[in-house]
Amino acid sequence: NAGVTQTPKFQVLKTGQSMTLQCAQDMNHNSMYWYRQDPGMGLRLIYYSASEGTTDKGEVPNGYNVSRLNKREFSLRLESAAPSQTSVYFCASSGTAVPTEAFFGQGTRLTVV
Amino acid sequence: GIQVEQSPPDLILQEGANSTLRCNFSDSVNNLQWFHQNPWGQLINLFYIPSGTKQNGRLSATTVATERYSLLYISSSQTTDSGVYFCAVPMDSSYKLIFGSGTRLLVRP
C-alpha cells in the first residue's frame, strides 16, 4: 500500500520556468491538499480539493494553480517560478467523514534559482 | 482563524530522558494530529487524537478538548526520536489542517 506518492522528489528551476508537481493517493480518499514548508517553519496550505471536481484556495495560493485530475490525482502547477517559491512541497489526503486523519507524501524539494 | 502554538520551540535531551511537548489551540476542534518530521524530512503520523489519551510504545498523547490543549509524552527517549514534532488542527471546522510551528527535538547519545 503506497499511500500518498509525490513526484519528483527534487527539482531545480530557473526563475520564470514552469513545472507541475504530481500527487497520487491509493487510499480512496476524497480530499487532497498541497502544503509548502519553508525552513524552520510549519506547513502552510496552498490549495485543497474537498472532492473530485472541486478545488479551493488555502493560506498561500498566489503563484500556484491546481488540477484535481480524478479522485486519485491532484497536481500543483507553478506557471512562472520565482525564488520565493523555493520550498519543500507536501501533498496530503484524507477522508471526508469527520473526524478524519490526514496522510502525507514524502515531499518535493524545489529550488528556484 | 484558529491559532496553534507549540512549546517549547527547541528541546535537547540526553538519551533515556523523558519529555512533554505541548500544543495549545485557540478554538474548539474535532480533530487533532501529532506528526514527527524526521531528519530526512518525512512526516510520520504519530497520533490522531481529538480527545482522550492514546499510547503507542514509548509515546503517548492526551488531548483535553474543553481546555484547548494537547500533550505529547516521550519516555526513555532515543536518538531516533530526534526531529521536529508538529501538532495540527482543522481550519474553520473543515478538513484543512493548520500546523503549529513545531518543537525541534535533539536527543544526544
Instruction: Please state the rounded mean pLDDT for residues B69-98.
Output: 91
pLDDT tier at B28 (50, 70, 90 boundaries)? confident
Query: In tens digits, what is the pLDDT along chain A, a chain of 113 residues?
Result: 679 999 999 999 999 999 999 999 999 999 999 999 998 888 999 999 988 889 999 999 999 999 998 999 999 999 999 999 999 999 999 986 665 789 999 999 999 99
Contacts of A103 in chain B (CB under 8 A): 45
- Among A66, A64, A83, A63, smallest CA distance to A22 is for A66
Range of lowest pLDDT (A21-25, A66-70, B9-13, B93-97): B93-97
Which of B86, B95, B101 minimises the CB distance to A100? B95
| pLDDT higher than 90, residue B96 | no
**Residue scoring higher pLDDT (A51 or B16):** B16
pLDDT score, position A107? 96
- Which chain A residue is nearest to residue B51, measuring alpha carbons? A99
Share of chain A above pLDDT 70, in %: 96
Q: Give whole-number Cα distances, A10 to A1, A19, A109, B58, B102, in Å.
A: 23, 12, 5, 33, 24
Distance between A88 CA and the closest CA of chain B, angstroms: 9
A101/B91 CB distance under 8 A: no
Distance between A42 CA and the closest CA of chain B, angstroms: 5
Assign B28 to helix, strand or coil: coil
Contacts of A29 in chain B (CB under 8 A): none
pLDDT tier at B94 (50, 70, 90 boundaries)? low
Helices within chain B (DSSP H only): none
Strand segments, DSSP code E, in chain A are: 4-7, 10-13, 19-25, 31-37, 43-49, 56-57, 64-68, 74-78, 87-94, 102-104, 108-112
